[in-house]
Amino acid sequence: MTAPMAAVRATELLKLKTTHFVLWRPGITHPVPRLVIGTFQSGNPPTLANPQFFDLVELASQSDLWGIPAKECQLANDTVYHYWFEVINSHSVHHEPSPLLCTDPTAWTVDWRILSPFGQNGEVRDSDRYPAGVVLYRNEQLELCDPGKEQIDWDGDPPLDQLPKNNQLIIYELPTRWARQNIEGGIEIDVGTFRDVIALVEPTARPANFTDIQAHSTQCHFRQERRN
């Protein structure tokens, strides 16, 4: 979290994210940032289906913090959505700044299978293409989920306002994307989930995908070491 955002308590931001799409955007305010949201469409490459565009408004609770209530975005209940924020790229290689779709910096989950488009005239470089954020909309709330709608069981976790301070946390990045060789010799890529990872270390846990992988179907060496 950047220094200006430190003024917003982490618990307040996390609580706001359950009802709003929010973006910290200082400096450039014209045009206003927009939410670009739709559903995942399989294909080669995958695309964003039924995209919708919504202007964000500056929230009174914090300077430079923009957002929009999820219930105002015409979303279908119990549906997984992919989204970006559209901002102006002030570092554009063109004379005029160009629009850029960026990943939500506070997204719970991102999906690298679908990247922001190049733009109408190729003004977006390949290095400026970013993965879509992923979120589940249910009962006017935004919930953490994987692209396949799998969710983590938070039962037993302490309330947000009782979590350790940020300088007392140790955060690990654990990629869950999977790749394997299929019977034709090609590479098959899929999106792994936290349930798949947990199934590698918890003998009683069941994976969401890849049930035919040996590590998930046998007592692999890693599990034996863990029990010992």
The answer as to whether 167 is a domain residue is: no
Tens digits of residue pLDDT in 151-208: 877 777 787 778 777 777 777 766 666 655 555 555 555 666 777 777 777 778 777 7
Write phi, then psi, for 18 (nearest 5 degrees). Answer: -80, -15
Q: Are residues 108 and 87 in the same domain?
A: yes
Which structural domain range is residue 178 located in? 172-227
Of 19-33, 84-98, 168-182, give the range with the top mean pLDDT: 19-33
Q: Are residues 112 and 150 in the same domain?
A: yes
* Residue 59, token pair as written in the block: 């929230």
Look at the alpha carbons of 40, 41, 46, 52 in this order and tell me if their dihedral is positive or negative: negative
- State the chain's maximal CA–CA distance in angstroms: 63
What is the count of structural domains for the chain? 2
Give the separation between CA 204 and CA 176, rounded to whole angstroms. 19
Q: Are residues 52 and 154 in the same domain?
A: yes
> Residue 114: CB partners within 8 Å, gap ≥ 6?
40, 45, 46, 47, 48, 82, 131, 132
Q: Are residues 67 and 111 in the same domain?
A: yes
Give the separation between CA 59 and CA 41, rounded to whole angstroms. 32
Question: What band does 223 get if pLDDT is binned at 50, 70 and 90?
Answer: very low
Residue 99: per-residue pLDDT:
81
Q: Are residues 66 and 112 in the same domain?
A: yes
